[in-house]
Structure 1
């Protein structure tokens, strides 16, 4: 069996999804996702100009050797651009192998460990009252876990994942349009004085059974993160996400020394080498590496196995920057992983997205039920793809009130 061709498509409904389709001489094809949010043309070009020419003629069943060929053979290793491209190839090869075997990918990993996987929704509000309404919406919709973000009084612009005005709190998405980044303003003192009580109010309102998650999005120093994690211990968060930048991994020991609040980190990581020490030293409770940025299924399986040795559970990234192909890869890993924790979930199931990526995966009452179709269980309609083209965008940037650039 040989790879005969591969094609890259860029575009989608509201997002620049980077979709890879690999064809074989037996007519079986596989799909992968190389979407690198707001830098989408870079992995697409790497695939088209460098990787696809080398793929032609390879045996798609040899996914491990192909992964090593590109990773070790590149000399300059890792980085989000390369790993997103490798991840797309790896997903597509697993998709092909599942179709050859007539089995869903989770069966190739070792079979299901659970029937359904818990997901969490994103509740947000311009203020705390608005956030409470958003949380209630998702609770009424059957979610058992909700991430909560709200505006901070006195902060001159909306903080991370918070709308400027009330009323869009159940469908809010950060605006990435335009190549020049939007600027947000951050005030650590106001945040640390306000947010612990806001989280306590949410817990009091919704009771002990709702899983409450909160994302700091790298905005605190290690000392500040340790103090914040200690302050919110009574809330019993399901996790505190990215409380500080993880570049200085030893600094995360400070949080562990001062708090038992569970910590989730890793959505910007792109290899096992970004998280191995955090896992081995048990400085985190959930690992957030995504199937695309993390180099695909082959790499994530290694991370999952390492995490399982150290009481660390999965909590894969699931922002709209991941297409239904990448999410499907994670659904299959979630079904199998013995140390599964939770899956981030933002609604992708618009009619336009479902038309571009037909699938039978089901999200119901806060749980995802993976399809039993062979491979990843997602298809790609090339005729629908012609409706979309690339549109440049950028993440916002953050500045302190005096103008200093800060961590997004």
Structure 2
């Protein structure tokens, strides 16, 4: 079996997605996700101009060797563009291998370790009544674990809260006040616990906005509310920053949605400075790399909590579900659903019921693509927001 065609497909059904399709001389086709939100075309160009031409004529069954070729052979290693491109090829090759074997992907990863994959959904509100309504809406959809995000008094545009109109095709500018946030958020969780009781698992995303000292203060203040995890409390490029947070709080910590390789986690894992790894399959080099990361994390009793917003395409989400079903140290899977238009293009195969995902039993990833529907949803330039303090200083988003 040989690879005879490899192409990049870019579309925008409610969100922009980058999909790789690899075809063999035996007519078996594999799909991969290369979406990098706000920088989609950079990955598409990297794939079409540099990566995919090298695959033609190659053996699609040699997944590990191909991964090493794309990582080591390029000389320029790591980074989100490179690792998203590698991930897309890796997913497509696993899709092909599982289809040839006639098995759903999780069976090639050791088989199921559980019956279903637990998820959490997103609840947010500008104030407590709106937040409570959002939590109830997620519960009505079946979610049994919920991320809590809140507006901050005095701030108009805050992460995860509905934004006012902005110039189309230009980034939204959000505002931030750390002191106001630190004063407000503990009261939000106190109110949520009082309203919804002690058993509902609650999560919170700081989105890299605090220093290590501020993070330690927040973590300590949230301990009475029994969070499932506190996510991205501080930028962790300096992995030693988490030592201070650990010294002052036992709250579970989740980190890594912007990490691209295992080296970003090395200190965090070996010193047990976190409890959950967050990197998505799409940005971390694919199933091959994430499986190795989770096996490494398992040695230190650290679990998975893979990033899964709507800007990870249904192809990438399907891969995460197969991994989540197979690995022993699964923790939880982020899942917020997709724009309605995405269902016209991607048919993912997995199902969502009672707050859990179950992968398709079809061979491969289980995802099919409607290219005719894709043509009706062209790419439209878009950006992630950025963030400024009240005095205009650019801050972490």
TM-score w.r.t. the length of structure 1 is 0.95
1:11-66 per-residue CA deviation (whole Å, 9 max, x = no partner) reads 13111110110000000010000000010001101111111110001100000000
Equivalent-residue separation in structure 2 for 1:48 and 1:359 (angstroms): 24
Partner of residue 374 from structure 2, selected from 356, 378, 385:
385
3-state SS of paired residue (2:81): helix
Report if the CA contact (8 A) 2:318-2:348 is conserved: no
Matched, 1:163 2:162: yes
Q: Deviations over 1:164-201 (max 9, x none)?
A: 58xxxxxxxxx897443221110000000110111111
Q: RMSD across aligned C-alpha pairs, in angstroms?
A: 1.3
Partner of 2:347: 358
Check 1:179–1:359 CA distance in 2 against 1; reply closer, same or farther (3 A cut): closer
Q: Does 1:370 align with 2:359?
A: yes
Q: Separation in 2 of the partners of 1:301 and 1:107?
A: 14
Partner of 1:260: 250
Q: For the structure 1 residues 181 and 355, does the alpha-carbon distance in structure 2 shift closer, same or farther, using more than 3 Å as the test? A: closer
Does residue 279 of the first structure (1) align with residue 278 of the second (2)?
Answer: no
Corresponding residue of 1:190: 180
1:116 & 1:323 partners in 2: Cα distance? 20
Distance 1:176 1:4, change over 3 A: farther
Q: Which residue of 1 aligns with 2:28?
A: 28
Q: Is the 8 A contact 1:219 1:406 kept in 2?
A: yes
Structure 1 regions of 5+ residues with no counterpart? 166-174
Query: How many angstroms apart in 2 are the aligned matches of 1:14 and 1:270?
Result: 26
Q: Is residue 2:302 matched to residue 1:312?
A: yes
Task: Give CA deviations for 1:61-89 in whole Å, capped at 9, x if unaligned.
Answer: 00000000010001110100011000000
Instruction: For residue 115 of structure 1, give the secondary structure of its aligned residue in structure 2.
Output: coil
Map 1:291-330 → 2, pairs under 5 A: 291-330=281-320
The answer for the alignment partner of 2:45 in structure 1 is 45
CA distance in 1 between partners of 2:371 and 2:99 (Å): 19
| CA distance in structure 1 between the partners assigned to 2:353 and 2:329 by the alignment | 22
Given the superposition, is the C-alpha separation of residues 213 and 177 from structure 1 closer, same or farther in structure 2, using an over 3 Å criterion? farther
1:224 matched to 2:214: yes
CA distance in 1, matches of 2:394, 2:12: 32
